Structure 1
Amino acid sequence: MIKAALFDLDGTLLNRDASVQLFIEQQYERLKAVLGCIPKEQYITRFIQLDKRGYVWKDRVYQQLVEEFHLVHITWEALLQDYLNEFKYSCVPFPNLISMLEQLKRDQLILGMITNGYGQFQMGNIKALAIEQYFDVILVSEWAGMKKPNPQLFLNAIENLNVLPHECVFIGDHPENDVKAAQHVGMKGIWKKDKQWDDVEADALVEDLLEIPIIINSFSQ
C-alpha cells in the first residue's frame, strides 16, 4: 500500500520554463535603463540558451551575458542578485497543483519533496507557490549536502517520513535524477512528462497533475 508521495520541484510542480520566460522578460523591463542597448528578444533568447533549463547556475549565465553584450553599466553580480531577489515573483505552477495536493491529503498520504538547488532560493519558490504547508519533509540539495540522484537523499527523505521505500512513490520530470533514482532505492517512479525526453521507462507517466492521485490509488489496489 502506498503511504507517501514525494515530489521533485522544478519541471514537476513548478513550470520552470514558463517561470524563466516570465522572469527574464520582467528583468529586462525592470533594468531597461542598463539593458536597453540589447534587443529584448535577443537578451531573453540568449539567457534561456545559457541557462540550459536550470542546469547552469546563474553566476555563469550572467558572466557570459555581460561579456557577450559588452555591458558596462551593470555587473554580473548585480544581475545575479536581481535574479535571487525577484525570481520568486515569477513562479508559475503547473495547472491543478493545489487541487492535486488537496486530493492527496484527503487520501491521507504523507507528502515530501526533494529538489536540487540552493536552499533559500528554492524555499522562496516553494513559498511563492503557496504549497509549503502540504509537505511533511522538504529536502533541498544545498542544505542536505548531496544532490539527486544520490540514493542517500531519497533514503533520508523516506526515513524522515517514517515509511518504507515500497510504500512510496516519487514524481519527477527527469528520467535519471528522479525516476530511476527513486526506483533504485525501491520506490515507484512516476514520470511527469517533459518534451525534452521520449521513451522514459517509469512505473507510470503523467501529463496533468490531477492524474497522480488516480495512479497512486491504482498502485494500492
Structure 2
Amino acid sequence: MVKAVLFDLDGTLLDRDASIEQFITTQYDRLTAHLSHILKIDYVTRFIELDNRGHVWKDKVYQTLVAEFEIEGMSWQTLLEDYETQFQLHCVPFDFLVEMLKMLKQQGYLLGIVTNGLGQFQTRSIEGLGIRDYFDVILISELEQVRKPQAEIFQRAMTRLDVSASDSVFVGDHPEADIMGAKRAKMRAIWKRSLHWLEVNEADAIINELSEIPLILEQFRGN
C-alpha cells in the first residue's frame, strides 16, 4: 500500500532550466543601465554556462561575470542579492504540476518534498510555484544538515509522515541523489526522465510527464 509520495524539487517539480533562463534574461533587462555594454545573449549564455545546472554557487558565478564583463557600478554582491530575491518570481513549473498534486491529495496520499539547497532560497522557490499548501512535510538539506543521497534525509521525511519505506515512493530526476538515495532508504523510486542524464535502470518506474504519476502509483498498489 502506497501512503506517501515524496518529491525532489529542481528538475522534478520546478523546470529549473526554463526558470533560470527566464530569470537571467529579465535580470539583464532590469539592470540594463549597468549591463548595456554587454550583449544580452552573451550575459544570458555565460551565466547559464557558469551556473552549470545549479552545481556552482552563485557568488562564484557573479564574481566571474563581474570580472569577465568588467561590470562597473554594481557589485557581485548586489547581483547575487537580486538573484536571491527575484528568482522566485520566475519559477516555471513542469506541465501538469498542480493538476497532479490536486489528484494525489484527493486520493489521500501524504505528500512531501526532499530537496538539496539553501533553506530560504528553496522555500521561496516552492512559494514561487504556488504549491506550498499541498505538502505535509518539506525537508531542505541546509536546514536538515544532511543531503541527498544520504538515506537519513529520506528517513526523516518518512518519520515525520509516520510512514514506512514500504509505504513510500520518491520521485526525482537525479540518478544518484534521488533514485539511488531513495533506493538506499528502501523506498520505491520513480525517475523523471531528464536529458541531462543517461537512462536510470535502478528506478522502479520511469516517467516523462508528471501526469503519469497517479497511474504509476495505482500500479504499485496492485503489486
Q: TM-score category by the smaller chain?
A: over 0.9
Partner of 2:13: 13
- The offset of 1:138, in angstroms, is 0.1
Which residue pairs with 1:104 in the alignment? 104
Match of 2:164 in 1: 164
Q: How far apart, in 2, do the equivalents of 1:92 and 1:213 lie? A: 22
Taking the TM superposition and a 5 Å limit, the aligned residue runs for 1:157-196 are 157-196=157-196
**Counterpart position of 1:199:** 199
Corresponding residue for residue 84 of structure 2: 84
> Partner letter of residue 176 of structure 1?
E
- Return the offset for 1:72: 1.9
Match status 1:61 vs 2:61: yes
Q: In structure 2, what is the Cα distance between the partners aligned to 1:25 and 1:39?
A: 11
| Counterpart position of 2:212 | 211
Alignment partners' CA distance in 1, 2:90 and 2:43:
17
What are the superposed Cα offsets for residues 91-145 of structure 1, whole Å, 9 maximum, x if unpaired?
Answer: 0000110100011111110001101111111111111111111100000111111
For the Cα contact (< 8 Å) 2:193–2:199, is it kept in 1? no
- 1:6-58 deviation line (CA, Å, top 9, x unaligned): 00000000000000000000000000000111110000000000001111111
Specify the code of the residue in structure 1 equivalent to 2:76: W
Give the paired residue count.
Answer: 221
The letter of the residue matching 2:196 is Q
Instruction: Tell me how far 1:67 sits from its aligned partner.
Output: 1.0
In structure 2, how many angstroms separate the alpha carbons of the residues matched to 1:151 and 1:67?
40
Q: Which amino acid aligns with 2:89?
A: Y
Q: Which residue of 2 aligns with 1:136?
A: 136
How far, CA to CA, are the matches of 2:44 and 2:38 in structure 1? 10
SS at match of 2:182: helix
**Helix, strand or coil: the match of 1:117?**
coil
- Structure 1 moving runs of 4+ over 6 Å: none
List alignment gaps of at least 5 residues for structure 1.
none
- Normalised by the length of structure 1, the TM-score is 0.99
Query: Counterpart amino acid of 2:213?
Result: I
Q: Superposition pairs for residues 13-52 of structure 1, below 5 Å?
A: 13-52=13-52
- Report the 3-state secondary structure (helix = DSSP H, G, I; strand = E; otherwise coil) of the residue aligned with 1:196: coil
1:74 equivalent to 2:74? Answer yes
CA shift for structure 1 position 146: 1.3
SS of match in other structure, 1:220: helix
Structural RMSD (CA): 0.7
Select between 197-206 and 75-84 the one with higher mean Cα deviation: 197-206
Identity between Structure 1 and Structure 2 (%): 50
Alpha-carbon distance between aligned partners in 2 of 1:175 and 1:114, rounded to the nearest angstrom:
15
Q: Deviations over 1:56-92 (max 9, x none)?
A: 1111100111111111221100000000110000000
One-letter code aligned to 1:175: P
Deviates more, 1:198-207 or 1:24-33: 198-207
Structure 2 length as normaliser, TM-score? 0.98
SS at match of 1:180: helix
